[in-house]
Amino acid sequence: MAAPTLVAAAELGLVGRPAQASTATSGIPSAEITEILDLNDLMTVAALPTSGLVTVEVHADGTVSFALPRAEVGQGITTSSAMLIAEELGVPLDRVRVGLADARPELVFNQLTGASNTTISTYTPIRVAAAVARSRLLRAGAVELGVDVGRLRLVDGVVTGGGLSIGIGALAERAASLEVLRVGVTLKDDAEFTVIGTPRNRVDALAAVTGRKQFAMDLQVPDAWPTMICRAPTINGKVRAVGNLDAVRAMPGVSDVGVVSTGVAVRARTFGQCIDAVRALEVSWKAGTVEGRSDDDVLEELRRAEAPMGLKPLVPHVDATFTFRFRSNSALETNCAVADVRPDRAEVWSSLKSPIVAKKAIAARLGLSPGAVTVHVTEGGGSFGRKLFFDAALEAAEASKLFGKPVRLMWHRADDSRQGRTHPMARSRVRATHLAGSVLSFRQLHTSVTTDLGHGLGEVITAMAASLPVGDVAFSQTFFQLSQNMPYDFGASTRQLRETGRGFNTGSMRNVYSPDMTCARELVVDQLARRMGKDSYQFRRAFLRDARARAVLDKVAEVGGWGRKLPDGVAQGIAFHGEYHSMNAVLVELDTRPETTQRRIRDGVAGPRVTKAVVAVDVGRVVNPKGLEAQMLGCLMDGIALTLTSSLHLVDGHFLEASWDNYFYTRQWNTPPEVQVVVMPSTGSEPGGAGELGVAASMAAVACAYGRATGTMPTDFPINHDTLSFEPKPAVPPVPASPTDGLTWAQ
């Protein structure tokens, strides 16, 4: 406690989420492990022991601050966290300031941002900390006003009672100086909520749209000059020799040039001068880690690694094989970091979702003790799982140490596409047997290029284990089994993951295994419905085990007008996905008619277009409906991209894509002009996961619509992967020249 502020911490018992009863239609409890313990439960329980280190601070000016031990990358968690504090403390939302905590190793498992876990794991700790602060302020108010504490109320930042009132700012110092008593607090009942569950604009919206929001590259760290890396033409190639270091050092604006572990670093007065220097470097390179390989080579390796499906069954069955290509994890904000390394200490700023692991890795790279390294977590412009890794922070620290000067390091867009993190290529095989109107078994074998889960659960021990030759297999299997489930009552349901192939820079792209797994599953569900002569929606509804699952499916069918008459070549698709105690269904209408697919698009592929989408989502207790709606819209755009347009092309050891202009995330011409998100009424007292929830069902619904519109089930994603609509940029130099007028495209 430090006057004149009041700092209040949560103190929680180790109480896990209550087990949810199965609602299997057969009356037999589901064998799904995720209904007992899923990945989110594991992360939440792991975070509980350090939840008491979560603190809310009340200031003398009446504002309240909170350092959130997670990364805000556009998902809106600073807003939802501020709403929790405003609700429980009794202050206006605009007086709550939520920032991001520096790397705090003492939090152990409690500083990883991922698996849609933030709101689940912080929901109670933040509220308890705010309630403790409220209790302290009321006790201080009783002393200050001479009124019994039982007669006082704290509303809108003011303590009132007995005809008297006083603001919390005036009470902060006295509340901090009171004897600390370990007393229980009572959280608000759900029926009393006036903030939680109400739609609120993001607290950072104005700053974002006016350009005042601070990202890593906006920070004014003294003498931190722009810095970039000249990278190899093939994935993970290393420097053999540089032929013109002195000449490049003499270029305009350039202050330093030197070899680092990932290439040749250049520091200059402007990023334009960095680009000029990178392009001028004459570097000979050692072979990369996947030298000479192509998409076909990787597919063949996946085929060789696949587990046998077994003998053909004697009963009717559906067999299907699906291919999912490499996809980029690049976010809107490119990979970047600021670093100031001195002989005895280092300070780094970057958007980091696993900052504890980053701090340890940076210290090891610099030869410093972890205590000598300070890692600041900045807000980020998107992630897609990319910011679970800290490549830029490591490079910035290494370059700053080499040059003996602060650096502002930024990856070029081409770096992100060609050397950044990717979602692994994978093949998923499904066999489903059926007889007499029942599905007897459903087996799914998923074979993938290895997913790098080296960040572990956000702390050093699991990160090290996940990086070991045996540990990474165990970690990925745990991740897979605790994040996948079978929502349908399909008899004997089994799934298996095999991973193979190293040398690629992979990562946990948004929703990780679920989009591919769910897309394959839902396409086969459509095939089963067709084989049995059933309607796709009614078939799903009959076999879904959970009442909440049926409710979201019913809602999209109702709002989307399932079964309505559409022109030939236009069809509806419907899909379901549930994870982390949340439910999601999506209905889309897809136009595959020639006049749509053959539209002329400059430097792009038109392809089919989603013309309408309806999303229904049930996440249990909803904190901010407006934020949840925005999340689902983003997930829908992800799903459309994964099905129709976005992939990387591996040729001769490198990816052809070199920026957003030739990596086709969902573009305006594929975006539905009609979209509706239905947020279902809160169905419990605790929130479920939401950040990744909507991707899988969105991808699957678009794929199912494509199958119904064309009469052919799609099996290779994205469906336009074989259409190369752009002229690939050269790999040497590794980045294209900077534009000079911004209008080159119009000529």
**pLDDT tens sequence across 469-515:** 766 788 899 899 999 999 999 999 999 999 998 899 999 888 899 99
Mean pLDDT over residues 59-83, rounded? 97
The three-state secondary structure class of 506 is: strand
**Which one, of 623, 617, 622, lies nearest residue 695 by Cα?**
617
Classify strands 609-618 and 6-9 as parallel, antiparallel or unpaired: unpaired
Contacts for 226 with CB less than 8 Å, ≥ 6 apart: 267, 268, 269, 270, 271, 273, 274, 408, 410
Mean pLDDT over residues 176-192, rounded? 83
Mean pLDDT of the chain: 93
Task: Give the pLDDT confidence score for residue 21 in this predicted structure.
Answer: 38
Task: Give the pLDDT confidence score for residue 91 in this predicted structure.
Answer: 98
CB atoms within 10 A of CB 16: 11
> What confidence category does residue 228 fall into, taking pLDDT thresholds of 50, 70 and 90?
very high
In this structure, are residues 704 and 575 in contact, taking their beta carbons and an 8 Å threshold?
yes
Residue 26 reports pLDDT greater than 70: no
Tokens representing 722?
A: 């074989």
Relative orientation angle of helices 355-366 and 460-467, to the nearest 10 degrees: 70
| Amino acid identity at 465 | A
Mean pLDDT over residues 563-580, rounded? 97
Task: Give the pLDDT confidence score for residue 508 in this predicted structure.
Answer: 85
Backbone phi and psi for residue 674, each to the nearest 5 degrees, phi listed first = -125, 115
Task: Give the pLDDT confidence score for residue 743 in this predicted structure.
Answer: 60
**CA 392 – CA 385 distance, rounded (Å):** 14
Convert 159-193 to b/e letters by CB count within 10 Å (16 or more is b).
bbbeeeebbbbbbbbbbbeeeeeeeebeebeeeeb
Total-model pTM: 0.94
Task: Give the pLDDT confidence score for residue 375 in this predicted structure.
Answer: 98
> What confidence category does residue 34 fall into, taking pLDDT thresholds of 50, 70 and 90?
confident
Mean pLDDT over residues 271-294, rounded? 97
**CA 526 – CA 573 distance, rounded (Å):** 9
> What confidence category does residue 185 fall into, taking pLDDT thresholds of 50, 70 and 90?
confident
- pLDDT over 70, % of the chain: 95
**CA 512 – CA 115 distance, rounded (Å):** 9
**Which one, of 721, 717, 654, 663, lies nearest residue 427 by Cα?**
717
Task: Give the pLDDT confidence score for residue 460 in this predicted structure.
Answer: 77
**CA 724 – CA 30 distance, rounded (Å):** 45
Task: Spell out the domains of the chain, with CATH numbers in brackets.
Answer: 6-196 (3.30.365.10), 216-289+335-410 (3.30.365.10), 297-327+421-717 (3.30.365.10)
Tens-place pLDDT, residues 613-635: 999 999 999 999 999 999 999 99
> What confidence category does residue 67 fall into, taking pLDDT thresholds of 50, 70 and 90?
very high
Long-range contact pairs involving 494-498 (C-beta distance under 8 Å, separation at least 24): 494/441, 494/442, 494/443, 494/444, 495/443, 495/444, 495/445, 495/446, 496/307, 496/444, 496/445, 496/446, 497/446, 497/447, 497/448, 498/305, 498/306, 498/307, 498/445, 498/446, 498/447, 498/448
**CA 641 – CA 667 distance, rounded (Å):** 8
- pLDDT over 90, % of the chain: 83
Task: Give the pLDDT confidence score for residue 681 in this predicted structure.
Answer: 94
> What confidence category does residue 14 fall into, taking pLDDT thresholds of 50, 70 and 90?
very low
Task: Give the pLDDT confidence score for residue 669 in this predicted structure.
Answer: 86
Backbone phi and psi for residue 746, each to the nearest 5 degrees, phi listed first = -80, -10
Residue 395 reports pLDDT greater than 50: yes
| 568 CB-contact burial (10 Å; exposed 0-12 / middle 13-18 / buried 19+) | exposed
Tens-place pLDDT, residues 414-464: 999 999 999 999 999 999 999 999 999 999 999 999 999 989 888 877 887
CB atoms within 10 A of CB 209: 10
Tens-place pLDDT, residues 533-548: 999 999 999 999 999 9
Residue 277 reports pLDDT greater than 60: yes
Tens-place pLDDT, residues 653-708: 999 999 888 899 998 888 999 999 999 999 889 999 999 999 999 999 999 999 99
Classify strands 263-268 and 492-500 as parallel, antiparallel or unpaired: unpaired
> What confidence category does residue 600 fall into, taking pLDDT thresholds of 50, 70 and 90?
confident
Mean pLDDT over residues 148-175, rounded? 96
Tokens representing 519?
A: 């897309």
Task: Tell me which of 22-26, 262-266, 482-486, 740-744 is least confident.
Answer: 22-26
Task: Give the pLDDT confidence score for residue 35 in this predicted structure.
Answer: 84
Helix (H) or strand (E) holding 274: helix 271-280
